[in-house]
Homo-oligomer: A and B are copies of this chain.
Amino acid sequence: MKEIASIAALANRFSALPGVGRKTALRYAYAVIDMTEDEVEAFCAALRDVKSSVRLCSVCGNFTDREVCELCASRKPEKICVVAYPKDVAAIEKTGAFDGVYHVLHGTLSPMDNRTPDDLNIRSLIGRLSGASEVIVATNPDVEGEATAVYLARLIKPLGVKVTRIAQGISMGSELEYADAVTISQALGRRTAI
């Protein structure tokens, strides 16, 4: 049996989400049939709203729905925690172990994927260093994350700002996004100079 065209089309859209295969996508599409029309409209509105309201904070590069994000607006920019992606900010904030500000690179250095420093949100980080006493590099403890940390240390230390790295309490090769709160807290607490 051919799938009904509209169901197949919707399943294709769901397949674009991270980790969603064809079977799961079809399951989601079937679930939409059972929604009320109001629910589908609300779903559409939520999709559009995210796309239209979410932008990057002009200071740190994290997702926000205003010009400057809540964290940049309310915290002292003394310690700057550098992460690869917005989801990493969420992971660290959940621990409550850090009260400084963040800087989101939107990626890591990767010669393999042709990602150079120019592709990352690094320039604006340099512009934020005047009032900062410490930059904590909290990229994932994998090859690309380490390379990015080393690059940032070489770039920033000559400017007289201390650069630290979260401790390798997070096991090598795993991803920050999935680490538990205690592990992230310890990694922040035992950060070491690069």
A54 close to B4 (CB less than 8 A):
yes
List, in ascending order, chain B residues with CB within 8 A of A19's CB.
Answer: 24, 27
* A contacts with B, residue count (CB < 8 A): 52
Given A47-B40, A50-B6, A27 contacting B32 (CB threshold 8 A): no
A192 to chain B, nearest CB (A): 25
**Cα-based distance from A48 to B26 in the complex (angstroms):** 16
Query: Helix, strand, loop or mixed for chain A's interface?
Result: helix
Contact check: which of B7, B26, B33, B49 meets A9 at CB < 8 Å? B49
Q: Does A127 contact B (CB under 8 A)?
A: no
- Tell whether A119 is near chain B: CB-to-CB under 8 Å: no
Bound-complex Cα distance A37 to B20 (A):
21
Give every chain B residue within 8 A of A37 (Cβ-Cβ): 51
Min CB distance A193 to B, Å, is 27
Contact partner, A18, options B27, B41, B89, B94, Cβ 8 Å: B27
Which residues in chain A, 1-53, are within 8 Å of chain B measured between CB atoms?
A: 1-7, 9-10, 12-13, 16-20, 24, 26-33, 35, 37, 39-44, 46-51, 53
- The answer to the question of A87 belonging to the interface, with a C-beta cut-off of 8 Å to chain B, is yes
Chain A residues near B (Cβ < 8 Å): 1-7, 9-10, 12-13, 16-20, 24, 26-33, 35, 37, 39-44, 46-51, 53-54, 63-65, 70-71, 86-87, 89-90, 93-94
List the 3 shortest-distance A-B pairs measured between CB atoms, nearest first.
A1-B93, A44-B44, A10-B46
